[in-house]
Amino acid sequence: MTKGVIYILENPSFPDYVKIGYADNIQHRLQQLNNSECTPFAFRVYATYEVESRLSDLKIHSIIDKLNPNLRSIDNFNGKKRVREFYAMPAEDAYSILEAIAEIHNYTDRLKKWELSQEEIKAEKIAEEVNLEKQARSANFLFTDFGIPAGAVLEYIDDPNITCTVVDERRIEYKGETMYITPFAKLISGKDYITKGPKYLVEHFMYNGRLLKKYEG
- The predicted-structure confidence for 43-63, as pLDDT tens digits, reads as follows 999 999 999 887 777 888 888
How far apart are alpha carbons 185 and 193 in whole angstroms? Answer: 10
In which band, very low, low, confident or very high, does the pLDDT at 132 lie, cut at 50, 70 and 90? low
Q: Identity (one letter) of the amino acid at 11?
A: N
**Measured distance between the N- and C-terminal CA atoms of the chain, rounded to whole angstroms:** 69
Q: What is the pLDDT of residue 207?
A: 92
Q: Comparing 14-23, 173-182, 194-203, which segment has the lowest mean pLDDT?
A: 194-203
Section 67-80 average pLDDT? 80
d(CA 110, CA 47): 11
Using an 8 Å Cβ cutoff, are 8 and 20 in contact? yes
Q: How far apart are CA 32 and CA 29, in angstroms?
A: 5
Confidence of residue 138 (pLDDT cuts 50, 70, 90): very low
Q: What is the pLDDT of residue 106?
A: 93
User: Which of 89-93, 128-132, 165-169 has the least mean pLDDT?
Assistant: 128-132
Identify the H or E element spanning 57.
helix 56-67
Quickly state the pLDDT bin for 27 (edges 50, 70, 90).
very high
Angle subtended by helix axes 118-138 and 181-189, to nearest 10: 110
Q: Stretch 128-147: mean pLDDT, rounded?
A: 67
Of 85, 15, 2, 67, nearest to 44 by C-alpha is 15
Q: Lowest mean pLDDT of 10-24, 68-82, 157-171, name the range.
A: 68-82
Distance between CA atoms of residues 181 and 190, nearest Å: 14
Highest mean pLDDT, choosing among 32-46, 72-86, 181-195: 32-46
